[in-house]
Structure 1
Amino acid sequence: MSGTSEGPTPAADLIRPAVTDSNQQASRRTNGEVSDPLRSAFVSAPLAMAVVDREGLVVTANDALADLLGAGPGELEGRVAADLVDLASDARTWHAYRELLRGREARLRCTRRLKQPEGHSVWVQVTVSPLPEGTDGVLLAAADISARRELQARLRHLQMHDPVTRLANRTLFFERLSAALDVEAYEHGGTGRIGLCYLDLDGFKAVNDTLGHRVGDRLLAAVADRLTRCAGEAGYGRASAPLVARLGGDEFALLVEDSTGTEQLADLAESVLTALQAPFDLAGQRLSLSASIGVVERQAAGTTATGLMQAADTTLYWAKTDGKSRWTLFDPERNAHRMTRQALASTLRQAIDRGEFTLEYQPLVGMANGRLSGVEALVRWNHPQFGMLTPNRFIGLAEEDGAIVPLGRWVLATACRQARRWQLEHPDEPPIFVSVNVAVRQVWDSDLVEDVAEILAETGLEPHLLQLELTESAVMGSAGRPLQALQALSEMGVRIAIDDFGTGYSNLAYLSRLPVSVLKLDGSFVRGFQYEDSGAHPNPADEVIVEAMIELAHRLGLTVTAECVETSAQAGRLRRIGCDTGQGWLYSRPVSPDRISELLECPSDQAGQAGQVVGNA
């Protein structure tokens, strides 16, 4: 026997003329050659195919492939197969194809867009697979999938576009946004920045509610046309125009890729506002509207789609609250303040339970004798992250979400308990009263009268040693339940004071009918008393106004406390015109309960000076 072995059949054998000798046919079938019926099927098959040898050259191609590529009969033989169907356009496909030619891969499949000699293109799905075992070469097949791709493109367009405005919808917008934020996209050029105008139509809901959704849809479509024109004008002379999208309802976005800075976004926002100012004529309806726009522009690197949209939404909210019909640029500092407010609001109620609040007390000093007659309780929040916070940082938040009710109850109970403790610790001194601020929401959302009665009974503090302060705007318009609560508290013996008097309604006729015993003059009046020690000239009008208010209060049987007393000259002037009590840094800053105890231990005729010492200690 011979030691030689029979190798694979050359791919060229697949295209040899048909052999009539039956012995030769049988021999070729034994050697792995393709029979004539199989060759006939290959030539006439509707699927475009070619036999490619191990060198990557076309051995033979059927008519379907020639027609698909716009070639004549026999023109494809000897051509490089990879060039015909663009297999070398990406590294992964090219590597897989070369491995398959070496016999190391089972199958390759990819999609390619091929340009025909006439100029139009076709989409094909290319499959490359080995020939039957024992046969040298591979089989390349190309199926025309242009119709399928066109249908897919139509379906994707419907899926990615809003049916009312025909703009990009939310899905396409975020797809483009994510691609724009891909840092690798900027390695080959571009500014590496991104900008967004996020707008909302002012008062659009009223259009839907009064004229119907059909008119509303027409208005949205008309707005979309104007936004598209603005985007086209903004993109003139640039690589691309901003993407205009409808994100839902009456919210739209203009995405600027490769933005050049805030000035470009500001110009775009201004052009949008101008474009929307002109009235809309819709089927006999002439409508006018405006928009509020949030503008964000920043580096793409380090920015996420979620972060960008949150910034844009926040800025849009600012534009709305600032008065609408305007654009507002994102301000990191303003946003940090908003985030702080949100952080405080979300933890405020828990902070009460955790005991994070504390009270400081500011002395109220008699103007005539300088004696400590009372203190005002001022709440502080010892926040674990932001440190010691004054009331202006959190009282407004507490009033908004109702946390002022439990917080106010805690302040009231703590202040009354401390006032009673001072009284017991200094039995030889006249007891001092404690003044506590009360928000009007405490009157509406809780039974303030019952709370006060229970706390006074629990602490043993006499009612006349408790003073409740309400702002002028809250007290002057009191009616119904608030007025009834004030009257009940007054009848109980609790003193009622109007805080910041002179800055609110100042309804003096109504004042005489309220159960009020104290007026606290707003500090703006006292600050106008600038005398010799400041080197400035006094304003006579301030003194005339203050003197008139003090005289009026005295005629109504009320006492007067002046806030923000900072100099001895101010105190002397207030004393001469009859003011009863002073409060301010001249006497003391807000201090701990222990410092108030030190004041109570001083002789009465030195209490005013002692207060000043305590305040500066």
Structure 2
Amino acid sequence: MPSASPQRLDTPHSALALGAAAPRHWQVPRDTALEAARQDYLDALPIAGAVICANGIDDIWIDKANDPFRRLALLGTGPIDLPIGEAAFLSASRIGERLIRFFADEADDMQFEGGDGKDVGGRYFSIRIARLAATNYATDRCLLSIVDRTAQVDTENSLRAEMLRDSLTGLPNRLAFAEQVELLLQDTGLSDSSHAVLVVDLARFSRVNECVGAIAGDELLIAFASRLFSALSPGDVLARIGSDEFGILLRLETGLEDALATAARIKAALVAPFRLSELEIQVDCSIGCALVNGKVDFAEEVVRNAQFAVKRAKNNNEIHVYEANEAQAARRLFSLETELRRAIENGQLTMAFQPLVDLQSGHVAGFEALTRWEQEEGGAVDASKFIAVAEESGLIVPLGRWALEEATRILAEWDRESGGALPLYMGVNVSPVQIARDDVVGLLSSALDRHGLAGERLTLELTESAIVRDPERAAKVLNGVKELNARIAMDDFGTGYTSLAYLQRLPIDILKVDRSFVSHMMTDRDSFAIIRAVLSLATALGMSTTAEGIETEDLARTLGYLGCSHGQGYYYAAPMSAEDALAYALSRSASST
């Protein structure tokens, strides 16, 4: 039996059923079964789908669609032969523009995100356009599929809003603040003095939390944020970027003066105390400023620069404006810390010795042991720099242990080379951090026993800050040192804040007069008077004295005449190696006998 030929369809069956005229593009004969299959395929899709046909970019129309697409585009239930320019949904969502571009470019596939064009309550879609084979009624066709992502996007936006918002104050958080600064940095028209970032650090916040509790602390943060906001100009961005830090992005009309004026308004806003329950709390803040300009590549770098300025501002309670290379210098110090740790672990430190001379006899009474560090590539590192890094990082503890062990070892070695105990003592510097954290007495006792030295051969030198920081612990440590018969010298006396009561109560043997007084005593009346007063005080308390920084013979003679016990400085000798130090002591003793 011969097979039946495909049935032809001159108009959509839905139109025929209604007795309506065939749409223009349906007047071309179509294969009934094939068109029905295509519609069935569309209807089977769980997402909105439509077949878009084109005969050139000036004749593009929606040919067929499934029910989800009809509802989305408000197309009704009749046959479709709608030019895309007349489809309100496609125009509002700009899908129509993409369809024209798709057919013009003859692309095989296109995917993009879009919406329905509504500012409020809008919907969001993932759209895909895939090319279909041409037919006898359309030279180009594509399948337009649309996935409604409104719920997902709304959830993402909600989560993002929470992620960018500080839950306590309702302000933008650090991430949101950084995004604002990042957008500004991407502006090609950004000028060097048009914007600035202020970081405001709430002073004593941890103290408030400790005294009145976390809830009151939260109340203070909210009230503090409110006062900050009242001091800002329209358009300024305020954010909470840390537990007690706030960031402000300022637009500068007249340059840096605007930032300084804002800082002054913030300070003025904090004059009145904060009332928390029944308490009135007076708080202050430190303010750091960093300009936003093309010299900085990333937003976080700008914020870090302002935070670096805040740390400097804490020293004088004034606004500090970040200057170029300050942060780089801080990073170099951090790198220095890493290198110092390796130097300590790998035994790359050395020791130099500066003589301590009896100003009456001229004999060398002892030496001050001074730590030295020479890098393989960078050369000698300034002692004041790496000691400061060691104290800040805590490396001063292992460094101090090494210095004590090395000084006692070398002193014992000198005794062996000389055939007996020399009439020399060794001065070793002790940091306030060591007094606070380490077992100084135990370490000293072990070092003396290990190298067979009497306690009086060692003098521990400490600064006034070691006593002021924790007087009770300092007294305990110093008394323990005295029980070992070692001596104690107060270094740089006169430059700190030591109470005379401490001198009376603590077992201090030697006062070392700071070089800042000694170097000017011959030309400055006040320095001379201070030195005389210190020497008289030491005599009254039964202490000996050492003058630092003696550079000339006149200074040495004058100090000896005034009753100073010992002196050290470049007039006698610069710090030298252990071998040279022993030779110097022996030769000087021989020449003075």
If the TM-score is normalised by the length of the shorter chain, which range does it land in?
0.7 to 0.9
Task: Describe how 1:401-416 pairs up with structure 2 within 5 A.
Answer: 402-416=394-408
Q: 1:111 — aligned with what? A: 114
Tell me which of 576, 586, 590 is aligned to 2:571: 586
Q: 1:299 — aligned with what? A: 293
Q: 2:3 — aligned with what? A: none
Q: Which whole-Å CA distance do the structure 2 matches of 1:124 and 1:284 have between them?
A: 51
**1:602 is paired with a residue of what secondary structure?**
helix
Task: Describe how 1:200-349 pairs up with structure 2 within 5 A.
Answer: 200-204=201-205, 220-221=221-222, 223-225=224-226, 227-228=228-229, 232-233=233-234, 241-247=235-241, 249-256=243-250, 262-277=256-271, 289-300=283-294, 303-323=297-317, 326-349=318-341
Q: Which whole-Å CA distance do the structure 1 matches of 2:591 and 2:83 have between them?
A: 116
Tell me which of 344, 360, 367 is aligned to 1:375: 367
Alpha-carbon distance change, 257 to 594 in structure 1, aligned in 2, over 3 angstroms: same
Task: Describe how 1:476-491 pairs up with structure 2 within 5 A.
Answer: 477=471, 481-490=476-485
Q: Which whole-Å CA distance do the structure 2 matches of 1:216 and 1:170 have between them?
A: 20
Q: Which whole-Å CA distance do the structure 1 matches of 2:113 and 2:467 have between them?
A: 79
Alpha-carbon distance change, 582 to 94 in structure 1, aligned in 2, over 3 angstroms: farther
Tell me which of 483, 486, 489 is aligned to 1:497: 489
Alpha-carbon distance change, 367 to 122 in structure 1, aligned in 2, over 3 angstroms: closer
Question: What TM-score do the two structures reach when normalised by structure 1?
Answer: 0.71
Q: CA RMSD in A?
A: 5.2
Q: 2:4 — aligned with what? A: none
**1:596 is paired with a residue of what secondary structure?**
helix
Conserved? CA contact 2:550–2:570, under 8 Å: yes
Q: 2:426 — aligned with what? A: 434
C-alpha displacement of 1:354: 1.2
Alpha-carbon distance change, 33 to 213 in structure 1, aligned in 2, over 3 angstroms: same
2:549 aligned with 1:564:
yes
2:447 aligned with 1:455:
yes
2:355 aligned with 1:357:
no
Q: Which whole-Å CA distance do the structure 1 matches of 2:11 and 2:499 have between them?
A: 111
Q: 2:172 — aligned with what? A: 168
Alpha-carbon distance change, 607 to 51 in structure 1, aligned in 2, over 3 angstroms: same
Conserved? CA contact 1:370–1:605, under 8 Å: no
Q: 1:54 — aligned with what? A: 55
Amino acid at match of 1:481: K
C-alpha displacement of 1:497: 3.2
Q: 1:199 — aligned with what? A: 200
Q: Which whole-Å CA distance do the structure 2 matches of 1:376 and 1:453 have between them?
A: 19
Q: Which whole-Å CA distance do the structure 1 matches of 2:490 and 2:276 have between them?
A: 56
C-alpha displacement of 1:443: 5.1
Amino acid at match of 1:86: R
Alpha-carbon distance change, 570 to 88 in structure 1, aligned in 2, over 3 angstroms: farther
Q: Which whole-Å CA distance do the structure 2 matches of 1:466 and 1:130 have between them?
A: 91
C-alpha displacement of 1:583: 1.3
Amino acid at match of 2:400: G
C-alpha displacement of 1:384: 4.6
Conserved? CA contact 1:359–1:592, under 8 Å: yes
Alpha-carbon distance change, 447 to 568 in structure 1, aligned in 2, over 3 angstroms: same
C-alpha displacement of 1:204: 4.5
C-alpha displacement of 1:379: 1.4
C-alpha displacement of 1:110: 4.8
Aligned-residue identity in percent: 29
Q: Which whole-Å CA distance do the structure 2 matches of 1:284 and 1:429 have between them?
A: 70
Q: Which whole-Å CA distance do the structure 2 matches of 1:596 and 1:384 have between them?
A: 24
Q: Which whole-Å CA distance do the structure 1 matches of 2:259 and 2:533 have between them?
A: 55
5+ long unaligned stretches in structure 1: 1-8, 234-240, 531-535, 609-617
2:92 aligned with 1:98:
no
Matched pairs, number: 559
C-alpha displacement of 1:488: 0.9
Q: Which whole-Å CA distance do the structure 2 matches of 1:555 and 1:177 have between them?
A: 64
2:81 aligned with 1:86:
no
Task: Describe how 1:109-148 pairs up with structure 2 within 5 A.
Answer: 110-114=113-117, 125=125, 134=135, 135-136=137-138, 137-138=140-141
Q: Which whole-Å CA distance do the structure 1 matches of 2:348 and 2:539 have between them?
A: 41
C-alpha displacement of 1:451: 3.6
**2:550 is paired with a residue of what secondary structure?**
coil
Alpha-carbon distance change, 345 to 291 in structure 1, aligned in 2, over 3 angstroms: same
Alpha-carbon distance change, 77 to 225 in structure 1, aligned in 2, over 3 angstroms: same
Alpha-carbon distance change, 196 to 357 in structure 1, aligned in 2, over 3 angstroms: same
5+ long unaligned stretches in structure 2: 1-7
Alpha-carbon distance change, 409 to 219 in structure 1, aligned in 2, over 3 angstroms: closer
Alpha-carbon distance change, 144 to 228 in structure 1, aligned in 2, over 3 angstroms: farther
Conserved? CA contact 2:364–2:588, under 8 Å: no
C-alpha displacement of 1:329: 2.0
Alpha-carbon distance change, 231 to 34 in structure 1, aligned in 2, over 3 angstroms: farther
Alpha-carbon distance change, 303 to 575 in structure 1, aligned in 2, over 3 angstroms: same
